[in-house]
Structures are given as C-alpha cells and as structure tokens.
C-alpha cells in the first residue's frame, strides 16, 4: 500500500556510506592544505552526495512514481536560483 | 435546484475530475509540506550566505568558536536515527510490529540525544561568550579576539545566523521527536499493521528530511 513494491535497499550499507562521507568531510575541512574555493566546492559536493543518499534510499525517492519525483524536484531549481541570486551580490 | 447549488455548478471547471498522484493523501500532504520546508531553509541559508560573504570584516573560523568534534559526533547520532527510522519502516512493512516499536523507540532516544547535545553545545557556547548578539565582553572568546585569533567585527552577524539556523533545525528535531512519541505509543497499542502503516511512513519522511537539512547545515555552518 504505502510505496511501490521494490526490493528493500541495504540500509546498513547506506549508513556506512554516510558515516564514511562525514568522516571524510571533517578531515577534508581541517586537514587538507588546498585552496579555500576548491575546499568549499568539494565540501558542498560531499554534502549533496550525502543528502542524495538520504533522499533516494531512506525517503525511497528512487522507488517512487515519476510524478512524485517530479513534484519533489520542482522546488529545487527555485532554491538554487534563490541562493545564486544572493551570491551574485558578493561576486559582483 | 437551489441557488447555492447552481452557483457551485458554475464554479466547477467544464472537465471531469481526474485522479491525482497514485499515493495516499497524508503522504502527498507531507511531501507538499516538505517542499515548503525546502524554501524555508533555503531562505535561512540564503540570508547566511549574503551576511557572511557581505560582512564588513573577517568571518570567525568555525573551528575556533565552535566545538566541531562534538557536533561531528552529533551529526553521526542523527544519521543513526535516520537508519533506525527506516528500519522501523522496513519492520512494519514486513509485518513485524515488535520490531516497529523497538526501532521507533531507538529513533526517539537518538533524536532526543541529538537535541540534548545541541542544548549542551549552546550552553557551553554562551558560557564561553558566544551569544546570538555576538561575543560577550570579558569572556574566553574576547581573549581570543585580543590575541588576534578571531575578529569581533562580525561576531553579532555570526551569532545571530548561527543560532537562528541551528535553532530552527533543533526546533524541527524536537517537533519530530514529539510526533515520533505519538507514533510509538500508537504502535504499542497495535495501531499499525502490514496493511496500513501510513503514519510510520509519513513521520519517517519528515524525520529523514530533518536529517537531510542537518547534513547541509553541518557542512555550511561548521565546516566551511
């Protein structure tokens, strides 16, 4: 009833990924001697990777219908535009 | 036909009603709510970005002011609570009612631990002189400012954005824990079955979303 029938993902494996990525993030943030801008990009990339794992497997978006996934995707470009618009104040 | 019915008929579009998404109303409602929450947290993060990068001075380094290792462990606790929540969902979808109650209780305890650790973190930060209004005069933090390890020009902006963002998130976790306690109590009375476990799925979506937001906030506030 609740979700489309599918084989349950390996939740413990996702947990291990999330744990590993969190450790990697903390080490990368404070131990890696690279340029600040590159560091920010990599850290944001790792955060988005972790967020995607949660959304796709824990929130089961990977197994939901196309319509629901579309409905979830719609606000994301708006959020991205919002953030980019305020960053331009700094860039310019 | 009464006047009211005639008016109602005029208001209906000239097409037959169509079925909506192939999901139940509670779940659709939660997803719509979460979409609005995306914009809520985007607003907060947007405000933080503009204040931080537009600040008239150097922004304090997170690992000088904040206790990053403690929050790193707290992040791990919240991730574990997401796993226990999804295990609760997996248990009831397999018809395991006892497993559902056990995993829900684990999620409640982990969530409450997260909020408690955040409370301790706030208490220590305020005690050390970092408040929503900035750095308190004569505190441990102002000694760091005197030593040149920290700039106090942006202390007020840093304090207000830090406590607003993490505070709103902590409020969301607290609301989640309260809702989870309701769902757990209902599960103890046999309120969920393999055929109908809507409440578990809906609170699960909220809980994972709160975890997801923290993943982003932790990176932006504590690591960058």
DSSP string, A28-75: HHHH--S-HHHHHHHHHHHHHHHHHHIIIIIS-GGGS-HHHHHHHHTH
Residue A15 lies in a domain: yes
Q: B42, A29: Cβ pair inside 8 Å?
A: no
Is residue A2 one of the residues assigned to a domain? no
Task: Please state the domain count of chain A.
Answer: 2
Q: Which domain holds residue A54?
A: 9-59
pLDDT of A1 reads 44
Tell me, yes or no, whether A38 and A19 share the same domain. yes
- Kindly state the greatest CA–CA separation across chain B: 84
Q: What is the pLDDT of residue A2?
A: 46
* Per-window interface: B 13-42 vs A, CB < 8 A: 21-24, 27, 31-32, 34-35, 38-39, 42
User: For residue A22, is it within any domain?
Assistant: yes
| B24 chain-A contacts, CB cut-off 8 A | 1-2
Are A44 and A24 within one domain?
Answer: yes
Any domain includes A89: yes
Residues on chain B touching A87 (C-beta within 8 angstroms): 49-50, 53
List the 112-171 stretch of B: residues with Cβ below 8 A of A.
Answer: none
The answer to whether the CB atoms of B49 and A90 lie below 8 A apart is yes
Q: Tens digit of pLDDT per residue, chain A (92 long)?
A: 444 566 778 999 999 999 999 999 999 988 888 888 899 999 999 999 999 999 999 999 999 988 889 888 888 898 888 888 888 766 66
User: pTM value?
Assistant: 0.90
In a domain, residue A4? The reply is no
Residues A13 and A49 reside in one and the same domain: yes
Q: Are A53 and A70 contained in the same domain?
A: no
Q: Tell me the HSE value of B218 on the side-chain side, using a 13 A CA sphere.
A: 31
Residues of B within 8 A of A76 (CB-CB) are 38
The reply to whether B45 touches chain A by the CB within 8 Å rule is yes
Instruction: Please give the CATH number for the structural domain made up of B5-223.
Output: 1.20.120.80
**Is A81 among the domain residues?**
yes
Residues in chain B with pLDDT < 70?
A: 1-2
Q: How many CB atoms lie within 10 A of CB B114?
A: 27
Residues A47 and A13 grouped into a single domain: yes
Q: What is the average pLDDT score of chain B?
A: 91
In chain B, the N- to C-terminal Cα span, in Å, equals 67
B50/A89 CB distance under 8 A? yes
Using one digit for the tens of pLDDT, what is the confidence trace for B121-146? 999 999 998 999 888 888 888 888 88
pLDDT of residue A7: 74
Q: Are residues A46 and A78 in the same domain?
A: no
If asked whether residues A19 and A49 sit together in one domain, one would say yes
Per-residue confidence (pLDDT) for residue B116, from 0 to 100:
98
**A43, A24: one domain:** yes
């Amino acid at each position: 009833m609740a979700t489309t029938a599918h084989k349950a993902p390996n939740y413990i494996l996702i947990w291990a990924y999330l744990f590993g990525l969190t450790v990697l993030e903390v080490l990368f943030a404070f131990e890696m001697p690279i340029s600040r801008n590159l560091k920010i990009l990599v850290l944001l990339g790792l955060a988005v990777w972790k967020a995607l794992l949660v959304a796709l497997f824990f929130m089961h978006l990977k197994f939901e219908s196309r319509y629901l996934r579309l409905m979830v995707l719609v606000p994301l470009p708006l959020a991205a535009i919002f953030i980019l618009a305020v960053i331009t104040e700094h860039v310019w | 036909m009464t006047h009211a019915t005639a008016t109602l008929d005029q208001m209906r579009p000239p097409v037959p009603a169509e079925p909506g998404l192939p999901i139940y109303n509670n779940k659709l409602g939660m997803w719509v709510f979460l979409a609005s929450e995306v914009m809520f947290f985007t607003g907060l993060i947007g405000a933080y970005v503009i204040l931080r990068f537009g600040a008239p001075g150097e922004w304090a380094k997170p690992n000088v002011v904040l206790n990053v290792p403690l929050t790193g462990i707290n992040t791990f606790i919240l991730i574990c609570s997401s796993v226990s929540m999804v295990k609760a969902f997996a248990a009831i979808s397999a018809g395991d009612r006892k497993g559902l109650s056990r995993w829900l209780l684990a999620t409640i305890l982990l969530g409450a631990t997260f909020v408690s650790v955040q409370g301790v973190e706030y208490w220590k930060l305020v005690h050390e002189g970092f408040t929503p209004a900035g750095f308190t005069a004569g505190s441990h933090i102002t000694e760091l400012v005197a030593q040149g390890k920290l700039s106090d020009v942006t202390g007020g902006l840093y304090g207000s954005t830090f406590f607003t963002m993490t505070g709103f998130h902590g409020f969301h976790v607290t609301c989640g824990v309260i809702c989870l306690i309701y769902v757990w109590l209902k599960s103890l009375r046999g309120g969920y079955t393999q055929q109908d476990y809507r409440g578990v799925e809906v609170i699960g979506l909220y809980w994972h979303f709160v975890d997801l937001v923290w993943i982003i906030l932790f990176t932006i506030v504590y690591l960058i």
